[in-house]
Each structure stands twice: as structure tokens, then as C-alpha cells.
Amino acid sequence: MYKNDLNNFFSYSFSVDCVIFGFKNGEINALMIKRSKEPFLNHWAIPGDLVYPNEDLQDAATRILTELTNISNLHLHQAQTFGNPNRHPKGRVITTAYFALIRNADFQIEASSFAEEVKWVPIHEVPDLAFDHNLILNSTYDLLKQKLFYEPICFDLLPEKFTLNQMQQLFEYVNESEMDKANFRKKIRPIPLIALGEKQQNVKHRPAKLFSFDSDKYLEIAGEDGYQFKI
Amino acid sequence: MYKNDLNNFFSYSFSVDCVIFGFKNGEINALMIKRSKEPFLNHWAIPGDLVYPNEDLQDAATRILTELTNISNLHLHQAQTFGNPNRHPKGRVITTAYFALIRNADFQIEASSFAEEVKWVPIHEVPDLAFDHNLILNSTYDLLKQKLFYEPICFDLLPEKFTLNQMQQLFEYVNESEMDKANFRKKIRPIPLIALGEKQQNVKHRPAKLFSFDSDKYLEIAGEDGYQFKI
DNA sequence: GCAAAAGTGTTTGGATTACACCCATGC
DNA sequence: GCATGGGTGTAATCCAAACACTTTTGC
């Protein structure tokens, strides 16, 4: 099977790139960093790094995520792997994209050792990025859009306590279409939510009820006969 | 961003593994090869190979596929990437899985320079495989099952000229449930098929009409308003 | 004629859609 | 009271499931 012996084969490098999505001002945003070294010095890019010798891919993505955001325990989703021989000007670097979702995309991410400058960019206003990062970002966003409709990951993007309208707006955004309020609520009835009994504050209209996702209940029913999360 | 300079970083190896699915005797089968070298000498495995220095990942998968089956022009689908540091006993090898679908899984694949022994194995009867290949095969089969319902790839698995019942049997197999004949036919009505005017031969009952997939028509309507291939 | 599978129509019930209406809050 | 968005019910419509029935072939 392996025609080439491992020992006298040439060397590659391997990296992971970690697309971090947030929902901010009614739009999906991605976290971008400004590169502080060549190649592509001062270009915007998706955060990424080479994988360490004994590090699993997902661990490498977690490391990048934690260093950048100081948040751990986030769910990571593997996306596509990009291996065009010319994608990196300095040599052969194959990269696997991961994505993570974070709540409260409003929080300020400080410049760290990791990156001088960091910013949120609405997914439809992304500038030209380093390497093939536009390609990576777009294909990863496509995957996110698909998964939002079949896995309960919208709750990783929404605030811990959210209104049904916030949830609807998220789906209207990714679906690029408006939905009927009453029908949306009927559609999500099978999804286990906890009505918190609390209400929105400081709004100049009738305050909406706050909900949170009932993940325990979800895990309980997820395996059952025909249950399938679906928007 | 890249903390480690490419030049003084250690070396990995990178491979692709190519799961080849066929539909044979009413079952999904995967093509397995018997390894002719260490490690895992004489174990069954998914065909795969290291990626050449200037080779794109998909090209590597195509190369494996062509050498093994003598068929080119097959559609390849990227699946997951596996990078556990201990997945290969001889060193760090990260691998990306691809899958391809072939018609007429009945044709005999000869032993080649590539592999001494080759066989089709029904997906539910796969033995213990080399490396983490059971994991790779299972996750790739899961992906196949998903894609069959949302992309017109069942036609890469069915004969060029197929009966509607053959198509239904494929979906019953992957869905692990029986479907109503009349309802199945109603469900696939939006899918562009060409009624060939020909009939099954040598069956001892009423012969079924033969169809083929109208890929031109499909490409035409695929972009239209709300059209979405769906079973 | 009989067995076996092809092929099609009808009825029914549940889900989706469109739309209308009422409610709670700030100003 | 009015503007704004929250929240819910109903009727019409579409879709999918269940099922029955007819057709065509080989023996």
C-alpha cells in the first residue's frame, strides 16, 4: 500500500486554521488577525498555526482558540482540508480548517502574544486575506450554514439567554430570507428549550421572554425513534 | 501567526485514503486491499498512499483510484482528516479520507502492482482493518449516507440504465427502512430522469422501464429559485 | 391461470403557509 | 393614545403516508 517508505520521504508541514464565528449586530462575523510576520506581513488572515509533533489536530485548534480568546470548552467542528501544493509560498503546508462558535461576539479580544491586531469582520464584508484564506473561510461558512439547520449549534452562537426572535433572526440571516414569526415558533416546538420566566430589559416595547437551550433534555431525546433536530 | 518557522520545524508525512463504494447484491460494498508490507502486513485496509511533493490531495486520491480500478473521471468527495499522533506506528502520518462511487461493483478488480489482493466487502461485514481504518471507513460511510439524500450521487452508484426499483432499493438500504413504491416515485418526480423506452431483460416478471439521470437538465435547474435535490 | 413484480390512483391526516388579531411596554 | 415589537390562533393549502388496484411478463 504505502509505496514510499516513511523514512526517506520528504517533509511537509501541517497546520490547522481556526475560523471563529460570532453573531453580532444581527450578522455572522468571523474573527480575523493581522499577521505580524512574513509571508503576508500585515495581511488579514484566519488564525492558525503549525501542529506540534505529538499534538492531535483538534488539540492544535483548541490551543489556537484558547490563546486567542481565553475561552476554553468550545465545541470545534472539523471542516475541509486544503492541500494545494502552492497554497503557501514558503513550502508545502497542508492545512485543516476547524470552526468554533462563540457567544457574545461583542466582547473585546485583546491583542495577545499571538496576534497584534484582532477584529471581527461581518462574513459578507471580508477583505482579501492571506494565502487561500478566503477560500477556506467561504467553504467553512458554507458548512456552518448547513450544520445550523441539522444540529443544535445555533445555541453556541446565541446568548445563553436568548429571545425567540433573536433565534429567528439568526436563521433569517443565514438563510437569506424572512420567516413568519408564528410559523417559526411552531417549527421549533420540538426543540427542548427552557422558558426562564425572565424578560428582556431596557427595550422600548413589550419585553420578550428569555429562553435557554435544554441540552440535557436534548441528549435524552436525541437518540429516540425519529427525533432529528431540524429547522 | 505561524509561531514556528517552517524551515526548522520537524517533518510529518501526509497521506490520502480512498474509500471506494459500490452497490452490489443490494448492499453497499467498500473496496479493500490486503497490505503487502509492514506495518500491518497481510491486514485488510482501505487503499491509500503518501502524497507526492507537488501533488494536490485530490490528485493523489485520483492516482490511487486509477491505479487500482483503471477507471478515471470519477467524482471524488473529500471526507474527514485524521491526525491522531499515534495512528501510524512508524511515525506521524496525517491522512485525509476521500470517497469515490463506482457503478457495476460486480466487475472484477485484478490484483495489480498496487495490491496483491483486492476484494469487495459489504459495509456491514467489514473485518478489523489496519491502522484506524475502521474509524475512517465508518465516518466516511456516514458522510456518504448524508450526501446521498442531498446530492444526485446515487446515480454514480447505480448502473447507467437503472430501474426505479433499483434506485429505491439503494435508498432503503442506506436508510435502513422500507419505502412505499408509489410514494417513492412521487418523491423523485422533481429529479430529471430520462425514460429510455427500454426495458429490463430476462426477468421472470413484468420487465421494468429503464431510466438514466439527466445530468444536463439537472445542471440547468440546479441553480433555479428553490430547487434542491432531495430524497 | 398463476405468481411476481411493475406501475398508478385515491383517500386521509399531519404539517406548513398565510394572515389576522391581541398584548405589553415606553414615550 | 400611539408606536413597536411580542405572542398566538385559525383557515387554507400542500405534502406524505397508507393502501388499493390494474398491468405485464414468464411459466
Q: Is the peptide bond before B127 cis (omega within 30 degrees of 0)?
A: no
CA separation (Å) from B221 to B185, B191, B228? 20, 10, 9
Q: Which residue is nearest to nucleotide D26 (CA to C1')?
A: B204
Give the side-chain half-sphere CA count within 13 A for A208: 9
d(CA B81, CA B74): 21
Check whether domain A159-225 has CATH 1.10.10.10, yes or no: yes
pLDDT value at position B108?
64
Q: Which three cell numbers stand for residue A109?
A: 479580544
Residues B94, A14: C-beta atoms closer than 8 Å: yes
Backbone conformation region of residue A89, classed left if phi is above 0, alpha if psi is from -120 to 50, else beta: alpha
With contacts defined as CB-CB under 8 Å, which chain A residues touch B35? 1
Output the CATH code of domain B6-148: 3.90.79.10
Q: Cβ(B107)–Cβ(B31) under 8 Å? A: no
pLDDT value at position B2?
35
A189 touches strand D (CB under 7 A): no
pLDDT value at position B69?
85
With contacts defined as CB-CB under 8 Å, which chain B residues touch A84? 56
Least confident of A166-170, A202-206, B77-81: A202-206
Percentage of chain B lying above the pLDDT 70 cut:
90
pLDDT band, residue A115 (cuts 50/70/90): low
Least confident of A120-129, B61-70, B164-173: B61-70
Q: Which of B93, B57, B54 is nearest to B77 (CA)?
A: B57
Least confident of A203-212, B110-119, B191-200, B205-214: B110-119
Q: What is the mean pLDDT of residues B41-69?
A: 93
Residues B3, A36: C-beta atoms closer than 8 Å: no
Residues 150-169 of A with CB within 7 A of strand D: 163-165
Residues B94, A57: C-beta atoms closer than 8 Å: yes
pLDDT top residue among A190 and B38:
A190
pLDDT band, residue A105 (cuts 50/70/90): low
Q: For residue B8, is pLDDT > 50? A: no
d(CA A80, CA A17): 10
Q: Cβ(A78)–Cβ(B80) under 8 Å? A: yes
Full DSSP string of B193-211 = EEEEEEE--S-SSPPPEEE
Q: How far is B193 from chain A (nearest CA, A)?
A: 27
| pTM for the model | 0.93
Q: For residue A52, is pLDDT > 60? A: yes
pLDDT value at position A171?
98
Residues A57, B93: C-beta atoms closer than 8 Å: no
Q: Kindly list the domain boundaries of chain B, sorted by start residue.
A: 6-148, 159-225
d(CA B68, CA B31): 10
HEC readout, A161-179: CECHHHHHHHHHHHHCCCC
Q: Which nucleotide is nearest to A204 (CA to C1')?
A: C26
Q: Cβ(B47)–Cβ(B31) under 8 Å? A: yes
- Give the number of other CB atoms < 10 A from CB of residue B15: 23
pLDDT band, residue B107 (cuts 50/70/90): low
| DSSP assigned state of A88 | S
Do β-strands B13-24 and B117-122 pair in parallel, antiparallel, or remain unpaired?
unpaired
pLDDT band, residue B115 (cuts 50/70/90): low
Do β-strands A13-24 and A93-102 pair in parallel, antiparallel, or remain unpaired?
parallel
Instruction: Note the CA–C1' distance, A204 to D16, in angstroms.
Output: 44
Q: What is the mean pLDDT of residues A19-45?
A: 93
**Strand D bases contacted by the protein (CB, 7 Å):** 3-10, 16-20, 23-27
B180 touches strand D (CB under 7 A): yes
d(CA B213, CA B180): 21
Q: Cβ(B157)–Cβ(B231) under 8 Å? A: no
Mutate to test the interface with A, among B4, B78, B81, B131 (most CBs of A within 10 A): B81
pLDDT top residue among A55 and B72:
A55
Least confident of A106-110, A213-217, A218-222: A106-110
Instruction: Note the CA–C1' distance, A183 to D11, in angstroms.
Output: 14
Mutate to test the interface with A, among B1, B56, B58, B59 (most CBs of A within 10 A): B1
| DSSP assigned state of A89 | T
Q: Which residues of A touch B (CB under 8 A)?
A: 1-4, 6-7, 9-15, 33, 35-37, 45, 47-51, 53-57, 78, 80-81, 83-85, 88, 90-94, 96, 114-115
Q: Cβ(A85)–Cβ(A92) under 8 Å? A: yes
Instruction: Note the CA–C1' distance, A142 to C17, in angstroms.
Output: 27
Full DSSP string of chain B = ---S-STTS--BEEEEEEEEEEEETTEEEEEEEE--SSSSTT-EE--EEEPPTT--HHHHHHHHHHHHHS--S--EEEEEEE--TTSSTTS-EEEEEEEEEES-TTSPPPPBTTBSEEEEEEGGG----STTHHHHHHHHHHHHHHHHHHSTTGGGTS-SSB-HHHHHHHHHHHHTS---HHHHHHHTTTS-EEEEEEE--S-SSPPPEEEEE-HHHHHHHHTSTT-----
pLDDT value at position A49?
93
d(CA B169, CA B179): 9
Q: How far is B172 from chain A (nearest CA, A)?
A: 16
Q: What is the mean pLDDT of residues B173-197?
A: 97
Task: Report the chain A residue with the minimal C-alpha distance to residue B48.
Answer: A1
